Amino acid sequence: MMETRREQNLGIVVAGSVEKGTEVRLDSSASVEDMVVGRYVTIDGKKRRFFGMVTDISLGVTDEEIAISPPDTADAFSAEILEGTATYGSLHVLPMLTISDAVSGINEEPQPVKTVPSHFSRVKLASEADMEFVFGKENNSNFYIGNPLDMETKLCLNLETLVKRSNGIFGKSGTGKTFLTRLLLIGMLQKSKATNLIFDMHNEYGWAGSFEGGKGGVKALKQLFPSKVAVFTLDEENSRHRGVSTDFVVRIGFDEIDPEDISLLRQTLNLTEQAVEAVYQLKRHLGRSWMQETLDMSDSDEIEVLLKNLNIHESSFANLRRGLASIRRLPFLVPHAQVNAVDSILGYLDRGMNVVLEFGRHRDITAYMLVANMLARRIYQRYQEKTEVAMAGKVTPPTPLVITIEEAHKFLNHEIANQTIFGEIAREMRKYNVTLLVIDQRPSAIDEEIMSQLGTKITCLLDNEKDIEAVLAGVSGKNELKTVLARLAPKQQALIFGHAVPMPVAFRPKDWGTAKSYEEFTHGNDSPEKADKDIKDLFE
């Protein structure tokens, strides 16, 4: 019965334009209340078949008089006659792709539409086969991420295509960004050849992540893929308390901090321009131990001489020292680290392992920015070197790397996007096999140039006008998508568009609601009862 419903004729095209989409007059047999915005339809044109989305539904009358003196509501007979004839429903359909040649009937690669279907072309609900053709099948490289809204079809992402560019996940707080990210990371671990480096600010991806409104934890990457994931921590004690088995405790030496790292923290540390300038001079003068020495200096005469030599103003120096002191308080910073964290991370990445860096209790943005920037910059340099060597034809290029960052607008805002390494990665690191997965709740705060470089964007509900504008900038059919975006449920619904999907799709992220699907990730280590409980926890 489902099948016949899918094949049902909805109506015919009566007007349209490429820019605004087509008007479809609904058949009297199709009820306007069965139509849903966001539903997919196919239009059988004379020469080709179109694939489109319902973006608006409206009611019409052939004679204004009907609206002025409508029939008596008790008069079912008249109402039945007028329904679908003098009063009718109409759909606004935005054709998005052409999917096959109507003459030969052969499916072609979906192409963006460049025309509209001719008058009176029949419009039908998209069939299962059409949907599969457009959205792909689950296979070795396609990851089943969810279902288009109100449909059972699987929406599959080609993860190899996805990781070739930087991507973004956006949404208001509490709309399921973390859940979506975890899902996508699991997909990447399973189906793409890329390795992941995750800066896990809230300790959600490595081990037992927290869950909005839920009790206890849910399994995360390390538990699901113990042999593929290494958990690094900045806060050993916190990790131990949470029962996380960590692979490496990150310590960063003062001598590893460069002036560039401080320059990025200018805003967070409240440093003046002059103070930042002073850092470069101090480094040049004092060498690698500049930070330690600057902080340790106590003899005022000595300071005076130094400042005079370097032509640094006293107040700038005081400002800098205050800032540096607040960094020094971070417990994971030591005068000299025994093992270099970057080497260690790269060691794991080279072996094809994925690295999750937990921040433990150091959730303040200073720590996060400092560490993420420092590490990413050095990893970037290595990747760049390796790729250049590979280009010379001596070795194979490095495995693609995806770096996941949260609170991305702190790194990628208009003021510092040009300075942080993440700005550069977003812009050009694709060439060096490094891409970003940006997670953020204020996309409008991210630099426009960076936003435009993101290949695929997945966005949960956003209700700030600026954020919506920022996310949808440059997408065709923007106004229609705005309607769809604003109507997403506050949880567990998202809109995906860009490079990795043939057309924008609103979808419900995959439900791991069955023991089978969850066990797929746990490798069957758990008893069925345990798996059931985990599933409950996951969706509590």
Q: Which is nearer to other proteins, 71 or 397 (CB)?
A: 71
> Exactly one of 11, 16, 84, 400 binds other proteins (CB under 8 A); which one?
84
Q: Are 331 and 359 in contact (CB under 8 A)?
A: no
User: Considering only 63-71, 218-226, 245-253, 509-517, which stretch makes contact with other proteins by CB under 8 A?
Assistant: 63-71
Alpha-carbon distance of 529 to 533, in angstroms, equals: 6
Q: Which is nearer to other proteins, 82 or 291 (CB)?
A: 82
3-state DSSP call for residue 16? strand
If binding is defined by CB under 8 A, does position 71 make contact with other proteins? Answer: yes
Q: In the β-sheet with 505-509, what is the strand arrangement from edge to edge?
A: 155-158, 142-148, 505-509, 494-498, 456-459, 167-170, 434-440, 401-405, 195-200, 354-358, 229-233, 248-249
What is the nearest approach in angstroms of other proteins to the Cβ of residue 453? 53
Q: Are 90 and 123 in contact (CB under 8 A)?
A: no
> Exactly one of 10, 41, 82, 402 binds other proteins (CB under 8 A); which one?
82
Binding mask 195-214 for other proteins (x = CB under 8 A): --------------------
If binding is defined by CB under 8 A, does position 74 make contact with other proteins? Answer: no
Instruction: For residue 455, count CB atoms less than 10 angstroms from its CB and return exposed for 0-12, middle for 13-18, buried for 19 or more.
Output: middle
User: Considering only 51-59, 60-68, 121-129, 288-296, which stretch makes contact with other proteins by CB under 8 A?
Assistant: 60-68
If binding is defined by CB under 8 A, does position 325 make contact with other proteins? Answer: no
What is the nearest approach in angstroms of other proteins to the Cβ of residue 81? 3
Alpha-carbon distance of 163 to 157, in angstroms, equals: 11
Question: For residue 409, what are the contacts with CB-CB under 8 A and spacing of at least 6?
Answer: 440, 442, 443, 445, 446
Alpha-carbon distance of 335 to 255, in angstroms, equals: 7
Handedness of CA 387, 411, 449, 473 (dihedral sign): positive
Among positions 3-32, residues that touch other proteins (CB under 8 A) are 28
Alpha-carbon distance of 454 to 322, in angstroms, equals: 37
Give the length of the chain: 540
If binding is defined by CB under 8 A, does position 63 make contact with other proteins? Answer: yes
User: Considering only 32-40, 58-66, 299-307, 323-331, which stretch makes contact with other proteins by CB under 8 A?
Assistant: 58-66
Q: Which is nearer to other proteins, 67 or 395 (CB)?
A: 67
3-state DSSP call for residue 185? helix
Q: How far is CA 275 from the centre of its chain?
A: 36
> Exactly one of 8, 29, 58, 85 binds other proteins (CB under 8 A); which one?
85
The angle that helices 365-391 and 314-328 make with each other, rounded to 10 degrees, is 90
What is the nearest approach in angstroms of other proteins to the Cβ of residue 65? 4
> Exactly one of 46, 47, 58, 80 binds other proteins (CB under 8 A); which one?
80
Query: Which phi-psi region, left, alpha or beta, contains residue 493 (left: φ > 0; alpha: ψ -120 to 50)?
Result: beta
> Exactly one of 47, 58, 59, 65 binds other proteins (CB under 8 A); which one?
65
If binding is defined by CB under 8 A, does position 86 make contact with other proteins? Answer: yes
Q: What is the largest CA-CA distance in the chain?
A: 102
> Exactly one of 29, 31, 78, 245 binds other proteins (CB under 8 A); which one?
78
# residues near other proteins by CB under 8 A: 16
Q: Which is nearer to other proteins, 73 or 227 (CB)?
A: 73
First to last CA, the chain: 33
User: Considering only 42-50, 81-89, 148-156, 511-519, which stretch makes contact with other proteins by CB under 8 A?
Assistant: 81-89
Q: Which is nearer to other proteins, 62 or 514 (CB)?
A: 62
Q: Which is nearer to other proteins, 61 or 334 (CB)?
A: 61
Q: Which is nearer to other proteins, 81 or 334 (CB)?
A: 81
User: Considering only 64-72, 180-188, 264-272, 360-368, which stretch makes contact with other proteins by CB under 8 A?
Assistant: 64-72
Residues in contact with other proteins by the rule CB under 8 A: 28, 62-63, 65-66, 69, 71, 75, 77-78, 80-82, 84-86
